Every structure is written in C-alpha cells, then in structure tokens.
Amino acid sequence: MREVNVLVIQPIADEELAYIARLDSRLRVVDARGWFDEEIRQTWPQWSVERYLGKRSCPPSTRQDRDHLLAQAEVILGGWPFPLDLRARSPRLRWFHQRPAGASNLLRGDLWGSDVIVTTSRGQGNTGAMAEYVLACFLHFARGLHRAYRDRQRQRFEHGSYRPILIEGKSVCVVGAGGIGQAVGRLCAGAGMRVVGTRRHVSPGDALPSGFSRLEGPEHLRSLLGESDFVAVCCQWTPETTRLIGRAAFEAMRPGTVLVNVARGEILDEEALIAALATGKLRGVGLDVYVGEFEHAPDPRLWQDERVLITPHVSGGTDVAQHRGVDVFSDNLHAYLDGRPLANVIEWARGY
C-alpha cells in the first residue's frame, strides 16, 4: 500500500486538518500551516501581506526545513498568498489544491502552466454571502442610500436627489452564471427580479439555472446588457474576460444602470468605467474588487466618487461558514487515491 505525502500549508481549522488526516490510512498528512509566512512576507507586495497575513504569528522554521517538506510532498493543500516557487522546490509534486475558488490567484507563481495538476474550490466558496453582497449593493443604489452620506456630511437633506426605484420587476444581467452567478440569480429572482445571464458554454436544451429566465453565450452579452437595469459581474478572470466590461459594454447599458463586480477587478476597464460615470450613464457601482487590489489602493477617481462603493474583497465574509474548500479537497483526495479524475482541474489554456 503506497503512502501519499500530503503537505498542508494553508491555515485551516484544527478540526479540518484532523478530518483530512482520518480520510485514509494511506495518507501521511504533514502540518505546515504558517511555516511559509515569513518568506511570503518577503516576496509578496506589502499591501497583500498586510491584508491577508496581518500580524499573525508563524511557527519558527528555516529555509532548509521548508525545502525538505516541499521536496517530500506529492500533494499540497494551499491558499493565498503562497510561495511563488513551489514547483521549482517540489520535484515530487503531482497535485496542488488551492482553497480559494479563483484560478487567477495563481498567475503570480510558477505553478501556472506547469505539469502539476492544480484544482480549485470553484463553485464551493461562500457563494450565498457573495449573492447577498450583490443584492445589498443593488438596494443601496436603488434606494439612493449613497446620497445619505453626503447629506450627513453637510447636515442638510437634499430630498430630491434620492430618486428611489423599486428593484421588483427590474432585470439583472449576471455575467458568468457559475457557482457565484447562480447564487446571485436565485437571490435576485427571490426579490422579484427578472434574471438573465451569460455563461461560457451554453448548449441547446440545457436546463436553466434556478431563477434564470434566459441564459446565453458571451457573444450575446451586449444585447443582455441593453435589456437590464442591474449588472452583476461574477465570471472568472481569463484572457477572454480581461476588460470584458469596457467602452462597448458601457455603451450597451441602459442609462441609470447599477453595476456590481464581485469577480476580479481586471474584468472591468476602469478607464471606461470612469468615463461612463463622467457622462452620468451609471446610477451606482459596487466594487468588491479593483485593478491591482493585491498591490495598492483603488484609483482615487473611483474612491472619491459617491456613486462608487468600494470594499476590500469582503463579499464572501460571513458569520456562518459556507466555504466547502476542504470538502472539495477531501473528495478529490479519495479520487486521487483511487486513480479517478479530479474535480475542478484548471485548464491552463482556458484560464480556470
């Protein structure tokens, strides 16, 4: 019976680690949570270090200790940020699982495009919380609540500026009807909205996701934008979706559209977004992500606009844990030991 060395470098709960260790007697699970924090602090942008590592303490280890662990690892459970040279230091590595859902998180390191099988937790994150964030942003701008901050600063009401609208009966276009997008669609449909959306591959006869009245391929995006009052960007960041929401997309949108992005900042052309705001095309914009969010603050032109609500990638935050990343990894461990195909394998050419 062959032993499989599993190295856990992602900070997960003790009970999750114990659960993985109990899965199969063939597994040798090595706890290296926090061991790589110090080198991550030295190799990642300070903005990312402060945001994701903070001041958390890490177990003492030497470079030699860490190299030894990587040299023995066949499987690694990691997260974000991660050591940028994992592939070069892990000659026996066959499979890396990233607990976050987004494949683009791995673009910085040497795993991207390598011969190692890499899986993600795509579709199994805190999708319910992210859907609530989207709906909250829709309501924030629909009810004109962004005007309240300005009125508070002035200590004077400008009643006519609120111009509240009812979201019930309005249309929302979900760009990317994957795990997050489908959760958004269900919640918005429950609020009485008409839900349409795009997905990379749509075949005739495919069943519509719950809550959706129409689902099209990406070539129909502009027509869907033209019939929607609200837009939720939920797709993966790939070469095809880089600046997908650009000048042409903004021109296709209805006047007074509310746009929310919970995917990746690079999917929006920020210069085109700023131009659309300048012309008054958009009623409001909710950004949980922005271009360069792991390296610097948002563009001041966006942060200073009262019609733009920016948060620090917290749409998935919740007091009720819904993230199933460890469950996905555990299911895949069973498949790996049995020689079966793994779920959520990144296809490098596709980008996720």
- What pLDDT is recorded for position 349? 87
Question: Which residues have C-beta within 8 Å of that of residue 76, sequence separation ≥ 6?
Answer: 6, 7, 8, 9, 70, 86, 90, 93, 95, 96, 97
Which residues carry out catalysis?
264, 295, 313
The predicted-structure confidence for 225-256, as pLDDT tens digits, reads as follows 999 999 999 999 999 999 999 999 999 999 99
- What pLDDT is recorded for position 173? 98
What's the whole-number mean pLDDT along residues 99-107? 86
Structure tokens at 200: 């990379």
What's the whole-number mean pLDDT along residues 14-21? 95
Say if residues 86 and 70 touch (Cβ distance below 8 Å): yes
pLDDT at 90 over 80: yes
pLDDT at 322 over 70: no
CA 283 to chain centre: 24
- What pLDDT is recorded for position 243? 98
- What pLDDT is recorded for position 2? 84
The predicted-structure confidence for 111-131, as pLDDT tens digits, reads as follows 999 999 999 988 777 899 999
What's the whole-number mean pLDDT along residues 296-304? 95
Closest CA to 150 of 293, 255, 330, 307: 307
Q: Say how far apart CA 250 and CA 254 lie, in whole Å.
A: 8
pLDDT at 187 over 80: yes
- Average pLDDT score, the chain: 94
Question: Which residues have C-beta within 8 Å of that of residue 34, sequence separation ≥ 6?
Answer: 11, 56, 57, 58, 59
- What pLDDT is recorded for position 248? 98
| Confidence category of residue 201, pLDDT binned at 50, 70, 90 | confident
pLDDT at 51 over 90: no
- What pLDDT is recorded for position 305? 96
CA 336 to chain centre: 26
State if pTM tops 0.75.
yes
CA 83 to chain centre: 20
pLDDT at 320 over 80: no
Domain ranges of the chain: 4-124+323-338, 127-310
Percent of the chain clearing pLDDT 90 (strictly above): 85
What's the whole-number mean pLDDT along residues 162-191? 97
pLDDT at 55 over 90: no
- What pLDDT is recorded for position 350? 87
What does the DSSP assignment read for 113-155?
TSSSEEE--TT-SSHHHHHHHHHHHHHHHHTTTHHHHHHHHHT
Question: Which residues have C-beta within 8 Å of that of residue 331, sequence separation ≥ 6?
Answer: 343
- What pLDDT is recorded for position 240? 94
| Confidence category of residue 1, pLDDT binned at 50, 70, 90 | low
The predicted-structure confidence for 262-291, as pLDDT tens digits, reads as follows 999 999 999 999 999 999 999 999 999 999
Structure tokens at 287: 């950004």
Say if 4-124+323-338 and 127-310 have the same CATH topology: yes
Q: Say how far apart CA 257 and CA 32 lie, in whole Å.
A: 47
Q: Say how far apart CA 177 and CA 200 lie, in whole Å.
A: 9
Pick the CATH number of 127-310 from 3.40.50.300, 3.40.50.720, 3.40.250.10, 3.40.50.150: 3.40.50.720
- What pLDDT is recorded for position 104? 87
Q: Say how far apart CA 260 and CA 135 lie, in whole Å.
A: 9
Q: Can you list the alpha helix ranges (DSSP code H) found in 227-287?
A: 247-252, 270-278
In this structure, which topology does domain 4-124+323-338 adopt according to CATH?
A: Rossmann fold (3.40.50)
The predicted-structure confidence for 57-86, as pLDDT tens digits, reads as follows 889 999 999 999 999 999 999 988 999 999
